[in-house]
Structure 1
């Protein structure tokens, strides 16, 4: 009888342990890749909604970070994964100057960037916290920005933010030639309704460090010819 009870207890404990390990493993692998998304400020501002410059002043005429977003290979994505882990600015104090420069807010009313970064961490960053803590998450995005200079890549291909229209295929080809992987392109509309280059999506492995071929592209609506507005 004692042997039977011991065996039953052992099996129950083994089952519970295996379930715990399964859950921990699932959490660590709970997304497949990141979208690293950069946006053109001229296209954010050149709409009926317009924009507001951050309290630190007008951002540079360069692509700015929108976010680093965990995604699944089927095109869906996790969000708001841990409400117990809010954005704490003191955790990224050493990154603040880089974030103000490369990850500026353009939302109205004017802000310091706190609300924007808080939103990005709490909606997207918490879904990767088993791999990247808060500091690691923002640092990874800044590192990717320094490696992927989209404006330089486009201008080297003769594509300039001067209000001209360029073929969508030429923009995609330029970025692919520059980084070695095809990008996803998202457009929006200016105040006159013209399709314009808004955001460029680049895929990154689940460590947040290496560029990869996109398993799936975002659903972006673009005309065959798009404007690259001045900022």
Structure 2
């Protein structure tokens, strides 16, 4: 092989390495940690929930997301360490399948495949994904129900202003803006989900980008939000 050929091969190998390294560190800008209020989720589900709900916000998912364009989904699995069975008792409490409590594992698996796989390198593998969520909800106190309760907002079934809800959540997230999802049925608007956002390294809370826009069926009004 001549010098020209060797230079060409080295350049090609170097380019491939750059591509591999860069592909493992790009693909999303931040994390959405979304929690759903169980009674509201069931109220707006097309079919009734199979079991009674708790008046709690529990985990919907941890989602790698982009500031602009679509969010990544169903990415390559780089490390095949699966979810540890020891995590399941905690997950059943903080991350239940609200719609069907006989089948938590399908819900968890769907969240991992669709969203968790795209969190690399912050999220290393399936077990790390679920350990991270347990840590966020319990150890790091990112439990929306408790954040609201600490601000004296309880699930009393009364109507709230969006400003009061936002101030309460900001008090537990370094004054960063959350994302709210509401739904309306028979002239009653309920708070369905609250999302807390953090940077792609999960080091800091950030203001949640991409709120629901006017005209969206999930946009929360300024007042009369049932919680």
Fold in common (TM above 0.5) = yes
User: What residue number does 2:21 align with?
Assistant: 24
Question: What secondary structure sits across from 2:113 in the alignment?
Answer: helix
CA distance in 2, matches of 1:12, 1:136: 38
User: What residue number does 2:211 align with?
Assistant: 218
CA distance in 2, matches of 1:107, 1:85: 30
The alignment's TM-score, normalised by the length of structure 1, stands at 0.83
Q: 2:86 aligns with which of 94, 98, 103?
A: 94
Q: 1:30-75: per-residue Cα shift (whole Å, max 9, x none)?
A: 211110001111111223633223xxxx564321000000011225
Does 2:167 correspond to 1:182?
no
CA distance in 2, matches of 1:154, 1:130: 32
CA distance in 1, matches of 2:136, 2:163: 24
Aligned length: 217
Higher helix residue share: 1
The alignment's TM-score, normalised by the length of structure 2, stands at 0.84
CA distance in 2, matches of 1:86, 1:76: 26
8 Å contact kept, 2:162–2:225: no
The unaligned stretches of length 5 or more in structure 1 are none
How much does 1:169 deviate?
Answer: 1.2
Does 2:112 correspond to 1:112?
no
Q: 1:3-46: per-residue Cα shift (whole Å, max 9, x none)?
A: xx223222333233223322331232221111000111111122
Comparing 62-71 with 127-136, greater Cα deviation is found at 127-136
User: What residue number does 2:72 align with?
Assistant: 78
